Chains A and B, each alone.
Chain A
Amino acid sequence: MNKSSSLSGKRNREKVVNTVCFVLVIFFSALCLLPIWWIFRSSLMTNNQLYSNNVPFFPPDWLFSNYPQALKNFPFWTYLKNTMTIIVPSVIAGTVTAVLGGYAFARMRFPGKRFLFTLVIGSMFLPVMVTLIPLYIMWTNILKLNGTYWPLILPYFCGGGAFNIYLIRQFILTIPRELDEAATIDGAGHFRILLSIIVPAIKAAMIVVALLLFTQMWNDLIQQSLYIHDAKRFTIALGLSQFKGSLKQDYSAIMCATCMSFAPGILFYLMGQKYFVEGIALTGLKG
């Protein structure tokens, strides 16, 4: 009797806590959405309305016609296709090589491990901008790859960046070693263990890595402007930056194009989203 009332009291308390959490989530997400709403709202106004002393929260005229207008100068599908040509192979290659690297560092013993790991950590300190010129010289003067997408893609076949190797390693470290030791006794090789035990357990982390790579390339304006000069081969980031011209800043067009360029990122996220859910199921099994 006593026990069941304490249980139901606990359940009630849980309910209250969940409700409070829900309210907080709604509150925070409203704050979080404000800047995004602001970009969207600005995309439905004229430049003159944007510069008005009156700052309307809702667009005065809801100028959806801005979108076809912006599309005239922002061939979204072409840019999207170009961007995907760069991003898809890079994301896949970057994730795969990061998993291989992260697995080696987390689970294997080999001479030179500490040294290599230190090199990986050290490479994180290096802003992209710093090595831009030496790399530019390598890609253009030595490898003659200017004008192609290769200088943007190939780096991702080379480890996918230190952060990602490190993240994968951290996640593999949280998986109990007993699991793969058991498999080793069953005679499984390293790649079998990686594929059948590690990869399923770190799916969520792999999605995180893929998303990191995705946004990283999505935003890599400086390198893209260095290697791509044919307007037909422009990416979304380059296309967006065109609207800030030499003599005029067309902010409402920038905001339109920005809103359109939300879509691929969101789709990409939604595709990965179900693996987060799966992650929960897996930990349930593991316990």
Chain B
Amino acid sequence: MKKLLAILLCVLMISSILVVNAAAEDVVEITYSYWGTPEEAASVQAVADKFNSEQDRIHVTVLAIPNEEYTTTLNSMAAGNQLPDCGIMNENGVLDFAADGLLADISSMYEGAASMPLDAITFKADGKPVAYSAANEILFLYYNKDMFDAAGVAYPDPKTPYTWDEFVETAKLLTLDGNGNNAASPDFDANNIVQYGCNVDNWTWQLEVWALSNGGAWFAPDGSACTINTPEVAESIQNVADLYLVDHVMQFRDGLEDSGVQSTIAAGNVAMATGGTWNVGTCMNLATFPYGVAPLPVMKEEVTICTGGPQVVFAQGSHQAEAMEFIKWYTQEENSWDSLIATGIWMPILEEYYVNEELTHKWVDNPNFSMGYENFKTSVVDYAHDYAVSTCWYYVPHTNEFLEYLRSELGSVWTGDISAADALNHAEAHLIEIFEGY
């Protein structure tokens, strides 16, 4: 009886270990990893099915990984030499993956193409492209027209941005307490606010735009130095913090996740909010009020930042050519058109969509852009083309660790325990250590 039990256990374990996956076919099997919600998953699967049915040499299998676990899982796979053949990636890990030899060379992807992806969304190491974003996303200002009407305030101009002071003053007029007083009124009760004038998202990477706007920069433009501890950068961060701490025109935010638009303006409790293009298709489409878009307010210089998760080919697989073929096919605009571009979640990556108005019409003339073609063209399309600069992770390594440490140090700035200048003084040494790599 006891022997039987022991033998049974041993047999069970050994037999399960001996399970061998045998699969040998002429078709090249490649895997593509993605994160995302079930809706996104369905559209990714549809794209892969389409690719599989269009030709019979390559078969793509999609690997589903929950967004929250995506980086963890990819990093573990990399350690085990088990990365998929290709997949989408978080922007902040791209250059590190490239530097460690985990990304395949894709420089030939757009060889001889008529229109190149925008330069600002090309990841570069030593000036050489290592990955292209699958989409373009910029930051701009959303506003709730009903709240502006109710307060009797003119809409933001679609072309000429607010100065920072104008922005704060406008936000005050749109911040209301339970008695209907706005934040500019002497009777205003800051302990009983029912509507906030603005939300400037302090999700850490987005703060870079304010440094640039205030005439500073986190990094030298060529990525050769970290210049984050300057009065301009400190002031830019303090300005954002003071919206909550001093002016009471913004609710407290801890800067932990991307819900800045979803939880504020889209939920109908805030009049103006900064956010990325993707919100047009992910949450503003559900808004029950008319909304408009405008450029970001300006501290000193008019600027916005752009980004977009790249599709990459990983270097651990043995079918890199086939993987690149799939990625190249996948990033063609028409293959992500219906689910991603026409809905407003993605902006196209090819420059022609920004300069050729016929193509812009093809893209924007659709009911998902409820603010109207003129508004979106002026405040987003042209703005993206003329004023957008790369987010730091396109040319600076170790941004994941950098942003994480910066986020943790800024935690006490948002609560008002320390000033932004003190936080940067305290954080500078380690931020530079991370930037330089250790």
Q: Do A and B come from one complex?
A: yes
Partner of B64, one of A48, A53, A231, A248: A231
17 contacts between A and B (CB under 8 A): A51-B262, A51-B264, A53-B269, A136-B82, A144-B20, A145-B16, A148-B19, A225-B65, A225-B69, A231-B62, A241-B69, A242-B67, A245-B67, A246-B67, A247-B345, A248-B262, A248-B282
The distance from the CB of A225 to the nearest CB of chain B, in whole angstroms, is: 4
Evaluate contact between B16 and A154: CB separation under 8 angstroms: yes
Within 8 A of A (CB), among B48-95: 62-69, 72-73, 76-77, 79-82
Evaluate contact between B80 and A229: CB separation under 8 angstroms: no
The distance from the CB of A221 to the nearest CB of chain B, in whole angstroms, is: 7
Decide if A244 is an interface residue (CB 8 Å cutoff).
Answer: yes
* Complex CA–CA separation, A135 to B16 (angstroms): 16
* Complex CA–CA separation, A145 to B15 (angstroms): 12
Decide if A250 is an interface residue (CB 8 Å cutoff).
Answer: yes
Q: Which residues of A contact B267 (CB under 8 A)?
A: 47-48, 50-52
- The answer to whether A137 and B67 touch (CB under 8 A), given A48-B268, A191-B1, A229-B33, is no
Decide if A179 is an interface residue (CB 8 Å cutoff).
Answer: no
Decide if B27 is an interface residue (CB 8 Å cutoff).
Answer: no
Interface residues of B (CB under 8 A from A): 1-2, 9, 12-13, 16-17, 19-21, 33, 35-41, 45, 62-69, 72-73, 76-77, 79-82, 193-195, 257-259, 262-264, 266-269, 278-279, 282-283, 286, 288, 309, 345
Decide if A146 is an interface residue (CB 8 Å cutoff).
Answer: yes
How would residues 18 to 54 of chain A score, 1 for a CB under 8 Å from any chain B CB and 0 otherwise?
Answer: 0000000000000000000000000000011011110
Given contacts A140-B80, A154-B13, 12 further A-B contacts (CB under 8 A): A47-B262, A47-B283, A52-B269, A74-B38, A157-B9, A191-B1, A221-B69, A225-B65, A245-B40, A246-B37, A246-B258, A247-B279
Q: Which residues of A contact B268 (CB under 8 A)?
A: 48, 52
Evaluate contact between B35 and A246: CB separation under 8 angstroms: yes
Decide if A249 is an interface residue (CB 8 Å cutoff).
Answer: yes
The distance from the CB of A152 to the nearest CB of chain B, in whole angstroms, is: 12
The distance from the CB of B307 to the nearest CB of chain A, in whole angstroms, is: 12
Evaluate contact between B67 and A51: CB separation under 8 angstroms: no
Evaluate contact between B37 and A222: CB separation under 8 angstroms: no
* Complex CA–CA separation, A52 to B67 (angstroms): 26
* Complex CA–CA separation, A242 to B67 (angstroms): 7
Ranked nearest first, the 6 interchain pairs of A and B with the lowest CB-CB distance are A51-B267, A73-B38, A245-B37, A229-B63, A225-B69, A241-B66
Shortest Cβ distance from B41 into A: residue: A231
Q: Which residues of B contact A136 (CB under 8 A)?
A: 76, 79-80, 82
Q: Which residues of A contact B263 (CB under 8 A)?
A: 51
Q: Which residues of A contact B41 (CB under 8 A)?
A: 231, 242
The distance from the CB of A100 to the nearest CB of chain B, in whole angstroms, is: 9
Decide if A143 is an interface residue (CB 8 Å cutoff).
Answer: yes
The distance from the CB of A276 to the nearest CB of chain B, in whole angstroms, is: 28
- The answer to whether A242 and B79 touch (CB under 8 A), given A52-B267, A230-B64, is no
The distance from the CB of B148 to the nearest CB of chain A, in whole angstroms, is: 19
Shortest Cβ distance from B287 into A: residue: A48
- The answer to whether A242 and B37 touch (CB under 8 A), given A191-B2, A247-B258, is yes
Q: Which residues of A contact B20 (CB under 8 A)?
A: 144
Q: Which residues of A contact B194 (CB under 8 A)?
A: 53
Evaluate contact between A229 and B64: CB separation under 8 angstroms: yes
Evaluate contact between A241 and B17: CB separation under 8 angstroms: no
Evaluate contact between B309 and A246: CB separation under 8 angstroms: yes
* Complex CA–CA separation, A262 to B336 (angstroms): 37
Q: How many chain A residues have a CB neighbour from B under 8 Å?
A: 45
How would residues 126 to 159 of chain A score, 1 for a CB under 8 Å from any chain B CB and 0 otherwise?
Answer: 0000001100110011011111101000100100
Most buried by B among A136, A191, A242, A248: A248
Most buried by A among B258, B264, B288: B258
Evaluate contact between A247 and B282: CB separation under 8 angstroms: yes
Decide if A234 is an interface residue (CB 8 Å cutoff).
Answer: yes
Most buried by B among A226, A230, A241: A226
* Complex CA–CA separation, A242 to B64 (angstroms): 9
Partner of A141, one of B1, B16, B81, B259: B81
The distance from the CB of A246 to the nearest CB of chain B, in whole angstroms, is: 5
* Complex CA–CA separation, A63 to B40 (angstroms): 24
Decide if A214 is an interface residue (CB 8 Å cutoff).
Answer: no
* Complex CA–CA separation, A221 to B70 (angstroms): 12
Q: Which residues of A contact B258 (CB under 8 A)?
A: 246-249
Partner of A150, one of B2, B19, B37, B81: B19
The distance from the CB of B72 to the nearest CB of chain A, in whole angstroms, is: 7
Decide if A91 is an interface residue (CB 8 Å cutoff).
Answer: no
* Complex CA–CA separation, A222 to B263 (angstroms): 27
Partner of B65, one of A157, A229, A245: A229
Q: Which residues of A contact B81 (CB under 8 A)?
A: 141
Q: Which residues of A contact B72 (CB under 8 A)?
A: 222, 225-226
* Complex CA–CA separation, A105 to B89 (angstroms): 49
Q: Which residues of B contact A166 (CB under 8 A)?
A: none
Evaluate contact between A133 and B76: CB separation under 8 angstroms: yes
* Complex CA–CA separation, A253 to B67 (angstroms): 16
Decide if A218 is an interface residue (CB 8 Å cutoff).
Answer: no
Evaluate contact between B64 and A132: CB separation under 8 angstroms: no
Q: Which residues of B contact A222 (CB under 8 A)?
A: 69, 72
The distance from the CB of A226 to the nearest CB of chain B, in whole angstroms, is: 6
Q: Which residues of A contact B288 (CB under 8 A)?
A: 48
* Complex CA–CA separation, A286 to B352 (angstroms): 85
Q: Which residues of A contact B19 (CB under 8 A)?
A: 144-145, 148, 150
Decide if A238 is an interface residue (CB 8 Å cutoff).
Answer: yes
The distance from the CB of A23 to the nearest CB of chain B, in whole angstroms, is: 36
Q: Which residues of B contact A140 (CB under 8 A)?
A: 80, 82
Q: Which residues of B contact A242 (CB under 8 A)?
A: 36-38, 41, 64, 66-67
Most buried by A among B36, B39, B67, B195: B67
- The answer to whether A48 and B266 touch (CB under 8 A), given A141-B82, A225-B65, A226-B76, is yes
The distance from the CB of A61 to the nearest CB of chain B, in whole angstroms, is: 14
The distance from the CB of A190 to the nearest CB of chain B, in whole angstroms, is: 8
Evaluate contact between A249 and B345: CB separation under 8 angstroms: no
* Complex CA–CA separation, A245 to B88 (angstroms): 14
